[in-house]
Amino acid sequence: MTGFGLISQDLGNVKYTVEIKSLNSKFLELSIKLPRAFSEKEFELRNECSRTIERGKVNLSITTEQNDVKNSALGIDVVLLQQYLQQLKEVSAKVNQPADNLLQLALGLPDVVKYTEEKASEDEWKTVTQLLKKAVDAFQQFRLDEGNVLENDLKFRISIILENLSKVEVAEPERIITIKERLNHFLSEAVGRDNIDQNRFEQELIYYIDKLDITEEKIRLKTHCDYFLETLKSPDANGKKLGFIAQEIGREVNTLGSKANNATLQKLVVGMKEELEKIKEQLLNVL
């Protein structure tokens, strides 16, 4: 399930920002980006995220922004700066290009300007953990809001399947009559009405109709749909369970279609399949 949470706090000389965002995934795939000062806290952060975030491809980013960069500067490595300048001049001469602003370019190269890399204090870490909790709360609220929308959509799709099932109940008696008339007409044209053994015909008809009986499929389909709606009400994470129930609904709908032998029923079954595919797509977003 997608999610997003962003919290920032300015503490005078430092601004802390915690951002959490996620995409759909069957498992928890956690990627953490931290300042060096908090690198030793990564394992603790992973445990906390694993406890509160159940599933998803999650990116957690914690950044610090120094409001006074000068205070963080430790000094300039003059020897390294001279080496960079010498190399830049040689390259400039070889390619026959003007050697303008080489000092500015050299100052931006790695390790020339050194900054303090102090270890984060407990107060700073406490601030970050408080921001993390707020970011996770915002992240979970985002997921909850999206989940409410998904729940309403899933209920709507199931209601359409149940509505089509009720229409199947209405159309089924006519289906049996149509099958009987069709077989009777076929035999009359093939061997003649007077040559039909009515007792044998009735026996074969009962056997044939029994093979096309969809009573069990209707009962199971109704049961699966009710169970799906019941599972939706549970406060637990039941995305996988709902996926399994949707598979069972699909089996019953397919069997109904194979036994339908009637244009009206086939249309209703096609409508059920269409809604079921939409349900399966939405379940990819459910924890």
Q: What is the pLDDT of residue 247?
A: 93
Q: Please tell me whether residues 190 and 276 are part of one structural domain.
A: yes
Q: Please tell me whether residues 103 and 188 are part of one structural domain.
A: no
Q: Please tell me whether residues 188 and 83 are part of one structural domain.
A: no
Asked, for residue 120, whether it belongs to a domain, the answer is: no
Cα 220 from Cα 249, distance rounded (Å): 8
Mean pLDDT of 216-239: 89
The residue among 121, 141, 161 that closes a domain is 141
Asked, for residue 150, whether it belongs to a domain, the answer is: yes
Q: Please tell me whether residues 15 and 136 are part of one structural domain.
A: yes
Q: Please tell me whether residues 86 and 37 are part of one structural domain.
A: no
Q: Please tell me whether residues 199 and 152 are part of one structural domain.
A: yes
CATH of the domain at 41: 3.30.230
Computed over every residue of the chain, the mean pLDDT equals: 81
pLDDT tens readout for residues 170-190: 887 777 667 776 766 666 666
Asked, for residue 123, whether it belongs to a domain, the answer is: no
Check whether 210 has a pLDDT greater than 70.
no
| Least confident stretch, 108-117, 128-137, 168-177, 246-255 | 108-117
DSSP code, position 193 = G
For the chain, the straight-line distance linking the first and the last C-alpha, in angstroms and rounded, comes to 6
Give me 92's structure tokens.
């400039």
Q: Please tell me whether residues 152 and 23 are part of one structural domain.
A: no
CA–CA distance from 251 to each of 3, 16, 28, 258, 273 (Å)? 33, 52, 30, 11, 10
Dihedral sign, CA of 214, 217, 223, 226? negative
Interacting residues of 83 by C-beta distance below 8 A, sequence separation 6+ = none
Asked, for residue 273, whether it belongs to a domain, the answer is: yes
Q: Please tell me whether residues 230 and 134 are part of one structural domain.
A: no
Q: HSE-up of 236 (CA within 13 Å, CB side)? A: 6
Q: Please tell me whether residues 95 and 136 are part of one structural domain.
A: no
Asked, for residue 234, whether it belongs to a domain, the answer is: yes
Q: Please tell me whether residues 149 and 133 are part of one structural domain.
A: no
Asked, for residue 118, whether it belongs to a domain, the answer is: no
Asked, for residue 44, whether it belongs to a domain, the answer is: yes
Cα 4 from Cα 36, distance rounded (Å): 24
Cα 103 from Cα 222, distance rounded (Å): 77
Q: Provide the domain count of the chain.
A: 3
Q: Please tell me whether residues 97 and 180 are part of one structural domain.
A: no
- Buried b or exposed e, range 214-253, using 16+ CB within 10 angstroms: beebbebbbebbeebbeebeeeeebbebbeebbebbbebb
pLDDT tens readout for residues 31-50: 889 887 788 888 888 888 88
Q: Which domain holds residue 18?
A: 3-69+129-141
Q: Please tell me whether residues 235 and 206 are part of one structural domain.
A: yes
Mean pLDDT of 63-70: 67
pLDDT tens readout for residues 15-26: 889 999 988 777
Q: What is the pLDDT of residue 161?
A: 94
C-beta of residue 150 within 8 angstroms of C-beta of residue 282: yes
Asked, for residue 121, whether it belongs to a domain, the answer is: no
